[in-house]
Structure 1
Amino acid sequence: MTTTDLRPPYVQTPHPHRRRRSGGRLLAAAVALVAVVGAAGAGGYLGGRDVATRTAAGPAAAAPVAAANAVNVPALLAKVEPSIVTVRTRSEGVDAFLQPVAEQGTGTGFVIGADGLIATNYHVVQGAQTITVTLRDGRTLPGTVLRSDPAADLAVVRVDAKGLPVAALGDSATLKVGAPVIAIGNALALPGGPTVTEGIVSALDRTVQTDAGARLRHVIQTDAAINPGNSGGPLIDAAGRIVGINTAAAGDAQNIGFAIAIDGARQTIDGLLRQGDA
């Protein structure tokens, strides 16, 4: 396993005079300050490949070749998007003169419990004094951190809501390098709905160190674009199931992003919820 320094992809709105650290090599994708992540089931399909054939008359004209990994992105999005939420935070920092200033951040999450349980990255909600969660139906509700694991960069946020659409979780152990994946999240906190990017699984079983302080093992590397605000959002497979949680992006490279594998994340979250009544 290789180790890489990363930064979190979450978007934070900095104060104009606030000191900013020089960019780490791996940026946590948590909030639209710097953002990641972080998906659910939708009916997708793998495209078939057209094969050119030879005839007795000579070689056939080159037939168009469909990408073997092509997926129906709109269908997948329609299935998973109802479970994706926007996580906004407000906290207090200091400016260059060590004066207190308000800071706002934006990240992503997805519903794991119909009774108001939301999964996201820990770095999205770390240090937040207030948390608000906007559901896909437009409702904005106050949220509280129910459980968290900083070492795993995972948190469960609760909102007062019932009957929420729950994301479908996949099996990250079955992923293969080259498999198509889609990242969904609130990149740069842009208004008008989540940003969707498409790519492949670039590598598996990576170990990365984020500038948010987490050392994450067995993570998924993808070339699907992960930007500030994506943190905590889903990485989904060709069947529309969440196989990873978008978490970090390499700040000094192109198309190198990382997601926490859902199998390990599910075990961590289940363990957190068993610590007490949810």
Structure 2
Amino acid sequence: MHTDNSVRFDQASGLRKMQQQRNHVKVIAVTGGKGGVGKTNVTLNMAVAMGAQGKRVMVLDADLGLANCDVLLGLRVTKNLSHVISGECSLDEVLVRGPNGIYIAPATSGTQSMVELKPTEHAALIRAFSTMQTQIDVLIVDTAAGISDMVLSFAKAAQDIVVVVCDEPTSITDAYALIKLLSNKYGVYKFKVVANMVRSLREGQELFAKLTRVTDRFLDATLELVTCIPYDNNVRMAVRKQRVVVEAFPKSPASMAFRSLASKAGSWPIPTQVGGHLEFFIENILEFAQNKKRENVSE
């Protein structure tokens, strides 16, 4: 039977082992506030495009309620992160290969959130990442919609946060709410914005301006417009084929924009201090979860 001390020892030894094994990994969280803005499409197309550019990429499907990365790629999934946490298999065993050699780590649909995990399950998750044999350069986290604790924990733990917005009032409102919460409560001040499904570059710039008008006025946060993804019927056609548009229609306008995004993301600097290691991404998620649990107990 595990005691609290043994769990802490397992976590600490797991983190040390991971630090020895793994060098710096770029961790990008893709989020958007509301659903329907194309967040998963942005995630997968960026990942596949980065794979084509020679990067070793893993996508963590972190939408615990509506996991769909595997569905959008037409992949067959038999096990997911819940089997890893329970000790039934290793993280390497649940990874599924996608286009251009990317890896997909399927989510734990319909199961408890990180806030509800037991200390032994926390340790199991850390061990899973510490013993992962698969070598990666980039981890892209596809978060759920909304501003749940899970979304906040993944976003806060990542090195770069990509906020996907489209030209709808609710998209702007929800993106602002997410940025406000992360900056005011959790000390996250830099955000990268992708204007998705825009009719023109000017529309994308105007969309970004709408968002920055409120963030500049009320928040201590810096936003950067990294790219505008044009509205493109080829994206919808690719989804129907269960493929990403960069693979199905490589010369389409959206594909060119996604490849540009991938090139930019590949050049974003990775922290050279200890926080640039993959284990600190996992450690930060679990620390967030433990803090939320303490908050819930005290209320």
Per residue, is there more helix in 1 or in 2?
A: 2
Structure ID, larger Rg: 1
Task: Sort the TM-score into its range (normalised by shorter chain).
Answer: under 0.3
Considering fraction of residues, name the structure with more strand.
1
TM-score, normalisation: structure 1:
0.22
Superposition TM-score, scaled by structure 2 size: 0.21
